[in-house]
């Protein structure tokens, strides 16, 4: 995939602007650079139930050149787009034999780096029982069918059983690892007939914070009235007041271990299918411990201020960006403005917007199968503050090969699409070990919306052109009709006047069309008319206007003509008709009469006047033919 002679690891991960994913990515990059590997993050975002949007995001699975990957990491618990994980697995099965490692969620088909969810909350639960003497312990689990949730719930039940604490099913509530279910859980517990819990153990920090907020709204103090704990040690858990007791998952180390596992396999070591990483309990204010938060709070507040400030600026920039780009209808204008907005985002070294050649003619609802060596056009490229554009390269390389550096490369790649219509992708590299801005999803949607506007605008223009073309075309032959002659003929005369040039006017009639219709039907007549039209088109190799007036009448206008050029046109025209007659494809022969003239028009010249002399010659030819025919009959 890259041409810098290093092994490359592909990582499939969603929602990279979330803290867990960001920390995991940093661990992967740190170890990959130590071991001299390239890394490509194939990223996507969920459409929150919007099926058509998810169909576009799903196509990130189609992008990699799987054969060229030397290792694959799948962060399964981040992937929310339906069928995406299975699509990735299908491609892996079909196209590669490289080692595959999943992180955080077990997959029996691959190697795994897992948090031991059977034990992750054990230290906290024992702490509540042994240190604080709690026996009324409620548990806010994750989704009921989620394997991590099941293991954490099993841990809760096992530890309570060890201390002979009865397990009351009503003290268990199934959440979502996110925020909304925490409110429902508090409402359910406090409205039930159960004794008020002494502690609520949550299977994620997000749920723990939501529970704490809901209790506070009800006038219940944490930890004085009810203690709380979470899981994962996200930054929000330490910033919240009271700070949340939690279990810290070694997220960066899990990313590093996934890379190390791939490297050891390449070195020929026998690897266990599963590597478990241990968590560590962090006791803070929400469990009632004597906790000194000064140092941690100070660092967290600095971090929080920086993040909030950056987020506010990014939201503002994205709003201006959306308003600025909405009226753009041309790709070159879009490319120019995009460079401005890329430069506003600090820290990147490389940015490439790569487009499929046919992106402007793609139809909605059609799934396109892309060849791995299909040509891609890099419309916008920025490398080390130098701008590039319109670079063509094979899709198998992902970025133009000439931009590969002789060092371990790290790129984040995401699909550019509007709903299910895929335009191409962006690839970004950074100076430091970081992921992209917090509002990357919105930024990508802004760019994709503009590309869709351009596509639709061009499609409408094509439709308008098609309708206009239909208006000035003869339906049977495809030649221009009388309206076409009036519109284009006047333009040709004007061009000739401006250049003081000469034009050719040719008129032609299909002889005895009525006899062909009478003997062979109108289908035969149509064949004859199309033969004449095809012959005119064959002879017209210099932008001549070929016209069918209607019936059996035809006309041609050509620019910059002299007599030699006119004779050449007529010879090719007649030869083409004769070749059809000689081929005996039809039961009848086709004959035409024609006349032509060359003139130098002036500003007062009209189409009708220009055709006069050519018509006179044509009718003279018709009379001569008729005279010869009558004479032959008399003899």
Residue 318: the pLDDT is 66
Residue 465: the pLDDT is 63
Mean pLDDT for 327-351 is 81
Do 280 and 361 share a domain, yes or no?
no
To the nearest 10 degrees (0 to 180), the angle between helices 205-217 and 180-190 is 50
Domain boundary (438, 459, 486) is at 438
Residue 606: the pLDDT is 85
Which of 68-77, 231-240, 260-269 is the least confident region? 231-240
Domain boundary (438, 454, 480) is at 438
Which of 117-121, 200-204, 309-313, 513-517 is the least confident region? 309-313
In a domain, residue 586? The reply is: yes
Do 198 and 288 share a domain, yes or no?
yes
Closest Cα to residue 112, out of 64, 153, 147, 138? 147
Q: At residue 297, does pLDDT exceed 70?
A: no
Do 128 and 101 share a domain, yes or no?
no
Q: At residue 95, does pLDDT exceed 90?
A: yes
In a domain, residue 587? The reply is: yes
Mean pLDDT for 208-223 is 95
Q: At residue 113, does pLDDT exceed 90?
A: yes
Q: At residue 526, does pLDDT exceed 90?
A: yes
CATH of the domain at 95: 3.40.50.2300
Q: Which pLDDT band, with edges at 50, 70 and 90, does 469 fall under?
A: confident
With 0-12 CB in 10 A as exposed, 13-18 as middle and 19+ as buried, what is 346? Answer: exposed
Do 126 and 108 share a domain, yes or no?
no
Residue 343: the pLDDT is 73
Strand partners for 246? 282
Do 139 and 71 share a domain, yes or no?
no
Structure pTM?
0.71
Question: Residue 280's domain spans which residues?
Answer: 122-253+270-296
In a domain, residue 2? The reply is: no
Do 484 and 559 share a domain, yes or no?
yes
Strand 421-430 to 410-418 pairing:
antiparallel
In a domain, residue 323? The reply is: no
DSSP 431-494: SSS----TTHHHHHHHHHHHHHHHHHHHHHHHHHHHHHHHHTB-TTT-SB-HHHHHHHHHHHHH
Torsion of CA 4, 9, 15, 18, to 10 degrees: -90
Residue 467: the pLDDT is 67
To the nearest 10 degrees (0 to 180), the angle between helices 482-499 and 607-634 is 120
Do 91 and 126 share a domain, yes or no?
no
Q: At residue 107, does pLDDT exceed 50?
A: yes
- Please tell me which residue, 323 or 581, carries the higher pLDDT value: 581
Residue 435: the pLDDT is 65
In a domain, residue 76? The reply is: yes
Do 201 and 68 share a domain, yes or no?
no
Q: Which pLDDT band, with edges at 50, 70 and 90, does 223 fall under?
A: very high
Do 387 and 342 share a domain, yes or no?
yes
Domain count, the chain: 3
DSSP 137-190: EEEEES-TT-HHHHHHHHHHHHHHHHTT----GGGEEE--SSSHHHHHHHHHHH
User: Measured between alpha carbons, how far is 165 from 45 in angstroms, rounded to an integer?
Assistant: 43
Contact, 142 vs 203, CB < 8 A?
Answer: yes
Residue 633: the pLDDT is 63
Do 140 and 285 share a domain, yes or no?
yes
Q: Which pLDDT band, with edges at 50, 70 and 90, does 391 fall under?
A: very high
Residue 458: the pLDDT is 73
Do 504 and 624 share a domain, yes or no?
yes
CA-to-CA dists, residue 41 to 21, 24, 83, 359, 625, angstroms: 11, 11, 19, 23, 78
Do 44 and 64 share a domain, yes or no?
yes
Which of 42-51, 401-410, 508-517, 584-593 is the least confident region? 42-51
In a domain, residue 445? The reply is: no
Residue 302: the pLDDT is 46
DSSP 329-348: --HHHHHHHHHHHHHTSTTE
In a domain, residue 317? The reply is: no
Q: What is the pLDDT of residues 42-80, one digit of tens each?
A: 999 876 667 888 888 999 999 999 999 999 999 998 998
Highest mean pLDDT among 35-39, 295-299, 308-312, 454-458 belongs to 35-39
In a domain, residue 460? The reply is: no
Residue 292: the pLDDT is 56
Q: Which pLDDT band, with edges at 50, 70 and 90, does 305 fall under?
A: very low
Look over the chain and give the mean of its residue pLDDT values, rounded to a whole number.
88
User: Measured between alpha carbons, how far is 407 from 35 in angstroms, rounded to an integer?
Assistant: 11
Closest Cα to residue 174, out of 187, 185, 189, 188? 185
User: Measured between alpha carbons, how far is 252 from 30 in angstroms, rounded to an integer?
Assistant: 9
């Amino acid at each position: 995939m890259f041409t810098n002679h290093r092994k490359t690891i592909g990582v499939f991960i969603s929602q990279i602007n979330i803290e867990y994913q960001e920390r995991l990515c940093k661990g992967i990059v740190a170890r990959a650079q130590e071991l001299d590997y390239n890394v490509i993050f194939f990223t996507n975002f969920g459409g929150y139930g919007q099926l058509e949007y998810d169909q576009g995001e799903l196509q990130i699975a189609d992008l990699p050149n799987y054969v060229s990957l030397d290792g694959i990491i799948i962060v399964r618990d981040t992937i929310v787009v339906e069928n995406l994980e299975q699509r990735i697995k299908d491609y892996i099965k079909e196209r590669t034999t490289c080692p595959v490692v999943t992180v955080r969620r077990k997959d029996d088909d691959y190697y795994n780096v897992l948090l031991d969810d059977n034990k992750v909350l054990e230290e906290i639960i024992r702490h509540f029982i042994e240190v604080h003497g709690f026996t009324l312990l409620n548990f806010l689990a994750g989704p009921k069918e989620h394997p991590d949730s099941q293991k954490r719930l099993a841990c809760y039940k096992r530890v309570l059983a060890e201390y002979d604490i009865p397990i009351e099913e009503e003290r268990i509530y199934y959440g979502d690892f996110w925020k909304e279910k925490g409110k429902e859980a508090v409402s359910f517990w406090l409205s039930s007939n159960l004794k008020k819990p002494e502690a609520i153990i949550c299977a994620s920090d997000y749920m723990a914070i939501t529970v704490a907020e809901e209790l506070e709204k009800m006038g219940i103090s944490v930890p004085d009235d009810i203690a709380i704990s979470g899981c994962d040690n996200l930054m929000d858990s330490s910033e919240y007041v009271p700070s949340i007791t939690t279990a810290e998952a070694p997220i960066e180390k899990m990313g590093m271990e996934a890379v190390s596992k791939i490297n050891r396999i390449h070195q020929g070591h026998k690897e266990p299918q599963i590597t478990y990483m241990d968590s560590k309990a962090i006791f803070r204010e929400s469990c009632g411990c004597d906790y000194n938060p000064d140092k941690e709070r100070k660092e967290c507040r600095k971090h929080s201020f920086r993040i909030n400030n950056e987020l506010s600026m990014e939201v503002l920039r994205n709003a201006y960006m959306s308003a600025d780009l909405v009226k753009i209808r041309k790709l070159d204008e879009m490319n120019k403005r995009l460079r401005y907005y890329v430069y506003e985002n600090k820290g990147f070294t490389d940015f490439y917007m790569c487009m499929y050649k046919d992106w402007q003619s793609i139809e909605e609802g059609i799934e396109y199968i892309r060849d791995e060596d299909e040509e891609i056009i890099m419309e916008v490229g920025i490398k080390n503050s130098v701008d590039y554009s319109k670079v063509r390269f094979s899709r198998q390389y992902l970025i133009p090969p000439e931009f590969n550096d002789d060092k371990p490369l790290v790129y984040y790649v995401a699909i550019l699409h509007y709903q299910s219509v895929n335009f191409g992708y962006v690839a970004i590299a950074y100076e430091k070990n970081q992921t992209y801005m917090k509002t990357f999803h919105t930024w990508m949607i802004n760019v994709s919306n503009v590309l869709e506007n351009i596509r639709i605008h061009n499609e409408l223009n094509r439709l308008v052109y098609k309708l206009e073309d239909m208006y000035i075309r003869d339906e049977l032959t495809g030649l221009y009709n009388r309206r076409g002659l009036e519109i284009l003929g006047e333009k040709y005369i004007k061009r000739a006047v401006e250049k003081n040039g000469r034009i050719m006017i040719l008129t032609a009639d299909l002889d005895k069309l009525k006899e062909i219709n009478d003997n062979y039907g109108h289908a035969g007549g149509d064949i004859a008319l199309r033969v004449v039209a095809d012959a005119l088109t064959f002879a017209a190799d210099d932008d001549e206007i070929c016209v069918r007036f209607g019936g059996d009448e035809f006309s041609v206008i050509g620019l910059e003509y002299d007599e030699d050029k006119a004779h050449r046109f007529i010879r090719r025209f007649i030869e083409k008709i004769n070749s059809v007659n000689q081929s005996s494809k039809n039961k009848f022969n086709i004959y035409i009469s024609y006349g032509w003239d060359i003139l130098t028009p002036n500003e007062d010249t009209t189409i009708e006047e220009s055709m006069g002399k050519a018509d006179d010659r044509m009718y003279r030819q018709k009379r001569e033919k008729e005279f010869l025919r009558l004479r032959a009959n008399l003899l």
